[in-house]
Structures are given as structure tokens and as C-alpha cells.
């Protein structure tokens, strides 16, 4: 098991091997010894100044991942979670000669890392090999290279009831292969257990990762799907627990347009940053030329945000009109009230009122009714009022 190893006796055999009963249950005395050993280590560390670990990955000068932590990338299906993970892996494996821009991700060039990619979803004939090729190309290698420190497996051919044990066996094996910091990617983590909604299965995997980061020089990056229809809820009980234990949580997803459809613009948001301040999100796009994600250009970002903000402003205007026009109201008074409430110029309100009438847009009321905005002239003054849709 990829677990906290038991203390060694003078004859070279672990004390656990001597203290375990025939049933395989660890003796209470050995459990106490392990507990007191960890207490001793904590006491030693408490008695001296604490030097916090430096990040192993930055994005545009912001620290992202720290050593010996559990981290998460979450998002809906099809939002390029794996491609974001590819870019991160390439940054950790990047050759000194490579000048590729990897979404502004960078590492300490004096530190060497081993990347171990564990896949559970893609086929072994083209999908997974192609993804591994992209990692190598982005890192500055050719597809024929077999870079030291880059290892990968697939759990796809194993049944779900076997996957946790196989993952454990692999991690113990790979830890012995590379005497450097291990960066382990689990893509996707919910497929590494039999039932991601089961508390026992979920906690067994999380406990294994927690024990690993406390004992060994390893860091985990776990990819997980979000529930359909939710904004930021990762799948199952495992999703809930992994977010609680994670140090950094990245969320990736498409920005929406004015009609609430996906655009080409992709937002990478920092949902959680335990070891640093919470960073501002950044935007990326998929590039057919680069066969991966690239930083989004400022024009695309500005146009997408402006279109969405206009829609949000229009929706707010519709709601306020419904609240204000419980009785007919002079044009000048309505414009003044809307401009104050929405904190914008009267000319902007005039343009929105014309747009609302000309399309025409539905005015929602608090009681669930829907009306249309109309106007009439009384004593040479324009009066706005609401009418039923069928009028």
C-alpha cells in the first residue's frame, strides 16, 4: 500500500510485520507507536522557526500549487479540463531550450519534477496517446522521445472495484522509480473508486492521498466533473470531500454570451487558494493551430464581457420597470428613477427604453405576471405604462 511506512526493526523487517496478527490487523501497541512518532515530529517542528515551502508552479507571478498538497481542477464535461492539465504537466516537464508559452505557467528551473499521469477515460489507441504527445511537444520534446520523469498509465481496462488497489500499487512502484518530487495527475478522480457517492470509498482514497503527501515528496492534481446544471458543485460525496481537503481549486468553464450560449472564451477561476491570497481569474481559448489552450486576446475578452454586461443591464432594467410602473408614470420621472437605481446616464436609459419597446421585451412582475411597456401622450407629456401582452 502507498501508505505511511512502519518503523524498521534492527533485523530489517518492519515492526508492523512483527506486530500484525494473523488476521492482518495492526496491533494496538504499534498503532500507538506510530501515533507517538508523529507527535514527536510535530513537537520538533513546532520548536523551530517554520519555513514554508515555495510553490512548485506559478501562473503569471501568482503561486498556484505548493508541494505536498492535494489540488483540484473542476468543470463541466467538455470544457477542456484535461487540456488545462496537459499544459500544467508540460510546464513541469519543460526543457530549458523550449520557448513555448504555456498559459503563463512556470516552475523553478532549478528543481526537477516527475509527472505521473493516471487516466481513466480515454481509449488507448489514439485519445490517450495523442494527449501524451501534446504534453511532450508543449514541453519541448518530440513524440518519439521518452523523457525521464514522465510516466503514465490507464486504469480504463480495470473494473471499478479494482482501480483503487491498482492505483495504490502503481503509486508505490513509481515512488521508487523517481527520487524527485512526484506530481501525480488523476484524470478523473471519481473513476479511481468503486462508488464516488459512497462515504467509505471516497474517504479511503482521500486518506491515502493525505497519508502520501504527509510522508512522501508528492503532490496530487485531481480532475473532477461538476454536476450537470450546478454552478460549482463537484460530483458526488468524493467531490464534496476532495474540495474540503484541497489546497488549490481551479474551475474551468466557457463564458456565456447574451443568449446564455457558450462562447469560445474560457474562464479559469481560482475557487480556493489555501496557501495564498485568492487570485483573479484568467481567460484562455482553444487554438486549432496549437492543438491546445492559449491565452485569450484582449479584444475577445472585452467583446464577450461587454455583450454579457449589456444583457445583464437590460434584464435589471426590465425588472425595475416592472417594480416602478405599478401606476402610469411620466417619461421624465421614470428615466430619472432608472438612471439613479442603475447608476448610469439618462441617455443610456432612453436608449434601453427604445430597445425594450421596439423588440418588444417582456416586463416581469413580482407576482409572476408578464406585461409589455407602452407609452401614450397626455397633456403634451409622454406617459409610460404597462399593458397585458394580448392587448
Q: CB neighbours (10 Å) of residue 320?
A: 17
pLDDT, the chain, mean: 87
Output 9 or 89, whichever has higher pLDDT. 89
The full set of domain ranges for the chain reads 1-42, 57-296, 304-388
Q: What are the tens digits of pLDDT across the range 231-271?
A: 678 888 999 999 999 999 999 999 887 666 788 999 999 99
Output 359 or 9, whichever has higher pLDDT. 359
Mean pLDDT for 210-221 is 93
Residue 185: band (very low, low, confident or very high) from pLDDT cuts 50, 70, 90? very high
CA distances from 139 to 58, 90, 95, 385 (A): 16, 5, 6, 63
Mean pLDDT for 191-209 is 93
Mean pLDDT for 125-150 is 96
Mean pLDDT for 124-138 is 96
On the question of pLDDT at 202 being above 80, the answer is yes
Q: 382 with 329: CB under 8 angstroms?
A: no
H/E segment holding residue 291: none
Predicted pLDDT at 164: 93
Predicted pLDDT at 46: 87
Phi/psi of residue 11, nearest 5 degrees = -85, 5
Residue 50: band (very low, low, confident or very high) from pLDDT cuts 50, 70, 90? confident
Q: 63 with 53: CB under 8 angstroms?
A: no
C-alpha closest to that of 56 among 177, 181, 152? 181
Predicted pLDDT at 17: 40
Q: Which CATH code fits 57-296? A: 3.40.50.300
On the question of pLDDT at 222 being above 80, the answer is yes
- Name the percent of the chain lying above pLDDT 90: 57
Predicted pLDDT at 261: 77
Q: What is the pTM of this model?
A: 0.74
Predicted pLDDT at 391: 54
Distance in angstroms (rounded) separating the CA atoms of residues 226 and 266: 16
CA distances from 64 to 88, 137, 155, 310 (A): 10, 23, 28, 33
Q: What are the tens digits of pLDDT across the range 77-107?
A: 899 999 999 999 999 999 988 988 899 999 9
Q: Could you say which DSSP state residue 7 is in?
A: P
Looking at domain 304-388, does it have CATH number 3.40.30?
Answer: no
Q: Is the dihedral of CA 135, 137, 139, 145 positive or negative?
A: positive
Grid coordinates representing 134?
A: 501534446
Residue 230: band (very low, low, confident or very high) from pLDDT cuts 50, 70, 90? low
Distance in angstroms (rounded) separating the CA atoms of residues 252 and 271: 10
Amino acid at each position: 500500500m502507498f501508505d505511511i511506512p512502519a518503523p524498521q526493526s534492527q533485523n530489517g523487517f518492519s515492526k508492523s510485520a512483527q506486530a500484525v496478527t494473523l488476521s492482518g490487523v495492526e496491533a494496538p501497541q504499534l498503532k500507538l507507536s506510530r501515533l507517538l512518532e508523529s507527535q514527536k515530529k510535530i513537537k520538533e517542528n513546532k520548536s523551530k522557526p517554520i519555513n514554508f515551502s515555495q510553490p512548485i508552479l506559478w501562473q503569471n507571478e501568482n503561486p498556484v500549487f505548493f508541494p505536498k498538497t492535494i489540488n483540484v481542477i473542476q468543470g463541466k464535461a467538455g470544457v477542456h479540463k484535461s487540456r488545462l492539465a496537459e499544459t500544467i504537466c508540460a510546464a513541469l516537464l519543460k526543457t530549458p531550450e523550449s520557448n513555448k508559452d504555456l498559459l503563463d505557467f512556470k516552475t523553478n528551473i532549478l528543481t526537477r519534477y516527475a509527472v505521473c499521469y493516471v487516466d481513466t477515460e480515454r481509449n488507448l489507441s489514439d485519445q490517450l496517446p495523442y494527449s501524451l504527445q501534446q504534453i511532450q511537444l508543449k514541453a519541448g520534446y518530440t513524440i518519439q522521445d521518452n523523457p525521464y520523469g514522465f510516466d503514465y498509465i490507464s486504469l480504463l481496462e480495470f473494473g471499478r472495484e479494482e482501480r483503487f488497489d491498482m492505483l495504490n500499487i502503481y503509486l508505490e512502484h513509481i515512488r521508487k522509480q523517481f527520487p524527485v518530487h512526484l506530481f501525480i495527475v488523476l484524470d478523473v478522480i471519481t473513476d479511481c473508486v468503486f462508488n464516488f457517492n459512497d462515504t467509505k470509498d471516497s474517504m479511503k482514497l482521500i486518506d491515502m492521498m493525505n497519508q502520501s503527501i504527509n510522508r512522501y515528496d508528492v503532490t496530487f492534481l485531481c480532475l473532477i466533473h461538476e454536476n450537470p446544471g450546478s454552478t460549482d458543485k463537484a460530483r458526488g460525496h468524493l467531490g464534496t470531500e476532495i474540495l474540503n481537503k484541497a489546497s488549490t481549486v481551479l474551475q474551468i468553464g466557457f463564458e456565456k454570451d447574451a443568449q446564455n450560449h457558450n462562447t469560445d472564451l474560457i474562464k479559469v477561476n481560482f475557487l480556493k487558494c489555501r496557501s495564498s491570497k485568492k487570485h483573479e481569474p484568467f481567460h484562455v481559448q482553444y487554438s486549432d493551430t496549437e492543438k491546445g489552450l492559449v491565452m485569450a486576446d484582449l479584444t475577445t475578452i472585452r467583446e464577450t464581457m461587454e455583450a454579457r454586461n449589456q444583457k445583464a443591464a437590460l434584464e435589471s432594467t426590465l425588472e425595475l420597470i416592472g417594480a416602478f410602473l405599478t401606476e402610469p408614470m411620466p417619461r421624465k420621472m421614470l428615466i430619472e428613477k432608472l438612471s439613479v437605481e442603475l447608476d448610469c446616464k439618462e441617455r443610456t436609459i432612453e436608449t434601453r427604453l427604445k430597445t425594450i419597446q421596439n423588440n418588444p421585451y417582456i416586463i416581469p412582475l413580482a407576482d409572476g405576471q408578464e406585461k409589455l411597456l407602452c407609452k401614450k401622450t397626455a397633456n403634451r407629456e409622454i406617459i409610460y405604462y404597462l399593458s397585458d401582452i394580448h392587448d
